[in-house]
Amino acid sequence: MRNQPSNDREMKEAVFYTMDDFARIRKVDAHTHINTHNTRLVNFAKSNNMGLLSINVDVPEYPSLEQQQEFTTGQLKANPEHFAYIASFRIQDVEEPGWVEKTIAGIEEAFTRGAIGAKVWKNIGMEYKDKTGDFVMVDDPRLDPVFDFIARKNKTLLGHLGEPKNCWLPVEEMTVANDKEYFTHHPEYHMYLHPEYPSYQKQIESRDHMLEKHPDMRFVGAHLASLEWSVDEIAERLDRFPNLAVDLAERISHLQYQAVNDHDKVRDFFIKYQDRILYATDICVDDAMPLETVEANAYTIWINHWKFFVTDELMEAPEVSDKFHGLHLPTEVIDKLYTTNFKKWYPQQDAINL
């Protein structure tokens, strides 16, 4: 079902952006991975009035966390008004004596160097087992002092915990093409192939339990908090946890998929939770990638998302098999999605001043 403004009053008062406004309106892409000293993509974003938040993360095929820290602090120096970053830490040595102190010292140093938050990744819950052979889950009490420290410093924890629900399905049953492609190339994270690993439900429960234990910590659930398949499920968590927001990184296709049959429901979700959602893509760049292609792809992604959020056009996306209408969100909601919520959920005065 497609939305029309619900009454004449909304019709008269609501103001909308157009495609021509894209370059003019201030924006932040709140989830990218800038693993290079080359400033071309950041400068290109800047020329489109967009700031980038880069996330350091302990992905095996990425440069080391130390190298990522060098890249991101370098980028921050080069473009302090259009770049910000989030630091990360290693979980592998969680059982070593002194892990808590060492980890907190590392995060504190990153904050001193300008990081506006810290990230935990799906290797918690999907990779590391302790000596007893149990997976280290995010509600593990051994992680509590680190989260307490982040909250005390008034920083934000960003968490990519669990995976899309599709990860527990065979590839041919997955709903969107980007998940099919990712899990085909990453069988190690395709949980349908690893029934002995913690279930989807278990991942979500341990994340929710961690949030229950840390009500004072701001938490951004990356990738729609791994509840991308249902706006109702995301809404339920946003209602339950006032200090939770979600980023859209690499999961907008799931909302487009839901918009095929439930357009109004997806639009209502954005209206109702307009203070809790951050625009984000998961665009990556490193030194092995041809920068011209990265730049062109980034522009295509940004402009197609803009079309989805600001217009009511019938459109298609490479990840989704059917057509859907844009959400036609009012300017007020778009501004929150693209800038205000970034400032609110990663509050640091000098972080990205467009």
Residues that bind Zn ion (CB under 5 A): 282
CB closer to Zn ion out of 60 and 195: 60
What would the 3-class secondary structure string for 292-349 be?
Answer: HHHHHHHHHHHHHHHHHHHCCCEECCCCCCCCEECCCCCHHHHHHHHHHHHHHHCCCC
Alpha-carbon span 197 to 109, nearest angstrom: 34
CB closer to Zn ion out of 161 and 327: 161
Q: Kindly state the smallest distance separating residue 32's Cβ from Zn ion, in Å.
A: 8
Alpha-carbon span 310 to 46, nearest angstrom: 21
Token pair, residue 338, equals: 């693209």
Q: Kindly state the smallest distance separating residue 121's Cβ from Zn ion, in Å.
A: 9
Q: Kindly state the smallest distance separating residue 162's Cβ from Zn ion, in Å.
A: 14
Q: Kindly state the smallest distance separating residue 265's Cβ from Zn ion, in Å.
A: 27
Strands laid side by side in the 117-120 sheet: 277-278, 244-247, 218-221, 156-159, 117-120, 83-88, 50-55, 27-35, 283-286
Q: Kindly state the smallest distance separating residue 142's Cβ from Zn ion, in Å.
A: 24
Phi and psi at 53, nearest 5°, equal -100, 120
CB closer to Zn ion out of 250 and 262: 250
Four-CA torsion 154, 155, 158, 159, nearest 10 degrees: -50
Alpha-carbon span 45 to 260, nearest angstrom: 30
Q: Kindly state the smallest distance separating residue 119's Cβ from Zn ion, in Å.
A: 9
Q: Kindly state the smallest distance separating residue 318's Cβ from Zn ion, in Å.
A: 19
CB closer to Zn ion out of 140 and 282: 282
CB closer to Zn ion out of 163 and 282: 282
Residues in a beta bridge with 135 = 129
Alpha-carbon span 37 to 39, nearest angstrom: 6
CB closer to Zn ion out of 29 and 282: 282
CB 264, CB 11: distance < 8 Å: no
CB closer to Zn ion out of 262 and 282: 282
CB 58, CB 88: distance < 8 Å: yes
DSSP 37: S
CB 229, CB 188: distance < 8 Å: no
Q: Which residue is nearest to Zn ion (CB)?
A: 282
Q: Kindly state the smallest distance separating residue 62's Cβ from Zn ion, in Å.
A: 10
CA atoms within 13 A on the CB side of 165: 12
CB closer to Zn ion out of 55 and 244: 55
